Structure 1
Amino acid sequence: MNFTKFPRRGYLQGQTPVEPMKNLSKALGGEVNLFVKRDDLLPGASGGNKTRKLDFCIADAMEKGADTIITCGAIQSNHCRLTASWAAKEGLECHLVLEERVKGSYKEDGSGNNFLFELLGVKSKRVVEGGSDMMAEMEKTAAELKAAGKKPYIVPGGASNPIGALGYAACAQELMEQLNTTGLSIDYVVVPSGSAGTHAGMVVGMAGTNANIPVIGINVSRTKEAQEEIVFGLAQKTAELLDVKGGVAREDVVCYGDYVGPGYSLPTDAMVEAVKLFAGEEAILLDPVYTGKVAAGLVDHVRKGTFPKGSNVLFLHTGGSPALYAYLDTFR
């Protein structure tokens, strides 16, 4: 895969580590060997996967002469935090449209990522009802900024468009370079599946490198059927953008929607257990919205014997730990 034809800002500083999780593997019975790729350690304020996507998206914005970035997300959006982070580094204004997916959940003086938006110098935050047309809401903000003489660029939620998904096609290539260098064989990769860019990019990257490693998505908001269609659609567009020969097959997109619980960002007992397991066994912090629920799915599949005995399973840790501090009551 050739990424040189796309502008990038160079936000990555080398490869993120691949680490064994020996204590967690033992705690879960020792029949499956667990590993983690630490994208929570990516650069940007408090790290996380969106840095890979924004490396491409903000480069595209700046190449087009933008001086202002508009994006959207939920109340505790990690994507909004990292967009604000890189906008600050680049000297760009950042404006956020926040979707209150759980009615009454927005607090002006809230902790977690909501507090970090302030520290990172976000110019405006506008909160809209759950279920709003977020692109239309961002376009409304863009129109106001254009009228004020600004040159805004809209980054979609999660930076999950073909340009952003390039970041995770490149991540798959990076992972294969690490595995080939160390000789570590991975049988399955487990990823979060939300706005779809990370999952779609990894599927495209695995196809583009002929890795033949199944990518399993654990949903954080939608049903299996709905999420698989969204991921597959984005993967097709990303494969076309990258000129991946043969594209991606529908059967390469696999999601599980059993761990969402009562809804997006709403805690589950399994999520709480998974967050505590990762912290207590491996000193790895997860977040309650994305990686905690994905880890709950991973733990459940290990316990159920979904992975054959002796399998090497890699968990893609996409970050998000600042959101923990907005969920203290859930863990105490």
Structure 2
Amino acid sequence: MNLAKFPRRGYVSTPTPLEAAPAFSEALGGKVNIFIKRDDLLPGTSGGNKTRKLDFSMADAIEQGADTIITCGAVQSNHCRLTLAWAVKEGMDCHLVLEERVKGSYKPEGSGNNFLFNLLGVKSTKVVPGGSDMMAEMEKVAEALRAEGKKPYIVPGGASNSIGALGYVSCAQEMQQQFFDMKLKVDHVVVPSGSAGTHAGMAIGMYATNSGIPVSGINVSRTKDVQEAHVYKLVEETVELIGDIKGGVPSEAVECFDSYVGPGYSLPTDSMIEAVKLLAQTEGILLDPVYSGKAMAGLIDLVRKGHFPEGSNVVFLHTGGSPALYAYLDTFQ
């Protein structure tokens, strides 16, 4: 795959660490070896996986002559934080459209990412009800900005379109070089699965390079069948954009588990709380309560159920998001 033909800004200049988690693995019974790909340590304000996607998305915006970025997410969106941060770095205005998926959850003076939106100097924040057509809402903002003479560029939620997914096709290649350098035979990769860009990119990157390493997504919102179709649609769009993957990627390369969502997106679960506390208290690594926490809860349960054969080396892709923890103090205290 020739990803060099696509413009990018160079936000990711060195590989993120791939760390063994021996104490965590031992706490889960010691039969499976857990490794953590530390994309929570990516550049950008407080880190996180969206930087890989925005490396390509922001380059596309700049190539199209944009001077303003518009994006969307939930009220504690890590994606919105990082999009805003990179817009600041590029000297561009940034406007956010936030979806209040849980009624009453938006707090203008809230902690976590809400606080960082304001600290970073967001130009405007529009809050819309859960279930709104987010692309249509962003287009309304874009139309008003065009009337003011601005040149806005819309980054979809999670930067999860074919351009953004390139960031995780690239990450899969990066990880395979790390496996080689570490002399590490990896049996499985587990990723959070939400807006789908990370999951789709990883599935493409691992399959199209003939790695033989399966990728499983732990859902944070949708049911298994809906999420698998959502991810695979983006796989097909991204494969078409790349253009040189013979035979494409089969739908069987996309696997999701949906038992760890709980009552809904961003709503705490006991298993998420356990996962966040366990990793913090064994490895000193922070997860977030919305994505990586629920995904790690899924990994923990799969290990305990014997889903991975004894002796397996399993890599968990840590997508970041720890600033959101501070909006969930009551959950952990």
- Could you tell me the TM-score, scaled by structure 2's length? 0.99
In structure 2, C-alpha distance between the alignment counterparts of 1:74 and 1:164, rounded to whole Å:
18
The unaligned stretches of length 5 or more in structure 2 are none
**3-state SS in 2 of match to 1:4:** helix
Deviates more, 1:53-62 or 1:1-10: 1-10
The runs of at least 4 consecutive aligned structure 1 residues that moved more than 2 Å come to none
Output the amino acid matched with 1:208: A
The unaligned stretches of length 5 or more in structure 1 are none
What is residue 302 of structure 2 aligned with on the other side? 301
Q: Note if contact 1:66-1:153 (Cα within 8 Å) is conserved in structure 2.
A: yes
Output the amino acid matched with 1:49: N
Tell me how many residue pairs correspond in the alignment. 332
Q: Note if contact 1:207-1:247 (Cα within 8 Å) is conserved in structure 2.
A: no
- Following TM superposition, by how much is the alpha carbon of 1:239 offset from its aligned partner in structure 2, in angstroms? 1.3
What is residue 59 of structure 1 aligned with on the other side? 59
Output the amino acid matched with 2:25: S
In structure 2, C-alpha distance between the alignment counterparts of 1:237 and 1:130, rounded to whole Å:
26
What is residue 134 of structure 1 aligned with on the other side? 134
Deviates more, 1:185-194 or 1:237-246: 237-246
In structure 2, C-alpha distance between the alignment counterparts of 1:181 and 1:104, rounded to whole Å:
49
- Following TM superposition, by how much is the alpha carbon of 1:240 offset from its aligned partner in structure 2, in angstroms? 1.6
In structure 1, C-alpha distance between the alignment counterparts of 2:204 and 2:216, rounded to whole Å:
13
What is residue 320 of structure 2 aligned with on the other side? 319
In structure 1, C-alpha distance between the alignment counterparts of 2:271 and 2:182, rounded to whole Å:
33
In structure 1, C-alpha distance between the alignment counterparts of 2:239 and 2:208, rounded to whole Å:
8
Whether 1:281 and 2:282 are equivalent positions in the alignment is: yes
What is residue 162 of structure 1 aligned with on the other side? 162
Correspondence list, 1:108-127, <5 A: 108-127=108-127
In structure 1, C-alpha distance between the alignment counterparts of 2:319 and 2:246, rounded to whole Å:
28
In structure 2, C-alpha distance between the alignment counterparts of 1:8 and 1:120, rounded to whole Å:
23
In structure 1, C-alpha distance between the alignment counterparts of 2:8 and 2:212, rounded to whole Å:
27
- Following TM superposition, by how much is the alpha carbon of 1:13 offset from its aligned partner in structure 2, in angstroms? 2.7
What is residue 49 of structure 2 aligned with on the other side? 49
Output the amino acid matched with 2:209: T
- Following TM superposition, by how much is the alpha carbon of 1:208 offset from its aligned partner in structure 2, in angstroms? 2.2
What is residue 37 of structure 1 aligned with on the other side? 37
In structure 1, C-alpha distance between the alignment counterparts of 2:92 and 2:230, rounded to whole Å:
30
Q: Note if contact 1:40-1:318 (Cα within 8 Å) is conserved in structure 2.
A: yes
**3-state SS in 2 of match to 1:211:** coil
In structure 2, C-alpha distance between the alignment counterparts of 1:175 and 1:35, rounded to whole Å:
12
Per-residue CA deviations over 1:258-306 (Å, capped at 9, x if unaligned) read: 0000000000000000000000001000000000000000000000100
In structure 1, C-alpha distance between the alignment counterparts of 2:13 and 2:160, rounded to whole Å:
22
In structure 1, C-alpha distance between the alignment counterparts of 2:31 and 2:4, rounded to whole Å:
41
Per-residue CA deviations over 1:184-213 (Å, capped at 9, x if unaligned) read: 111000000000000000011112211110
Identical aligned residues as a percent: 72
RMSD: 0.5
In structure 1, C-alpha distance between the alignment counterparts of 2:119 and 2:85, rounded to whole Å:
9
- Following TM superposition, by how much is the alpha carbon of 1:50 offset from its aligned partner in structure 2, in angstroms? 0.2
What is residue 202 of structure 2 aligned with on the other side? 202
Whether 1:269 and 2:270 are equivalent positions in the alignment is: yes
In structure 2, C-alpha distance between the alignment counterparts of 1:245 and 1:86, rounded to whole Å:
34
**3-state SS in 1 of match to 2:189:** strand
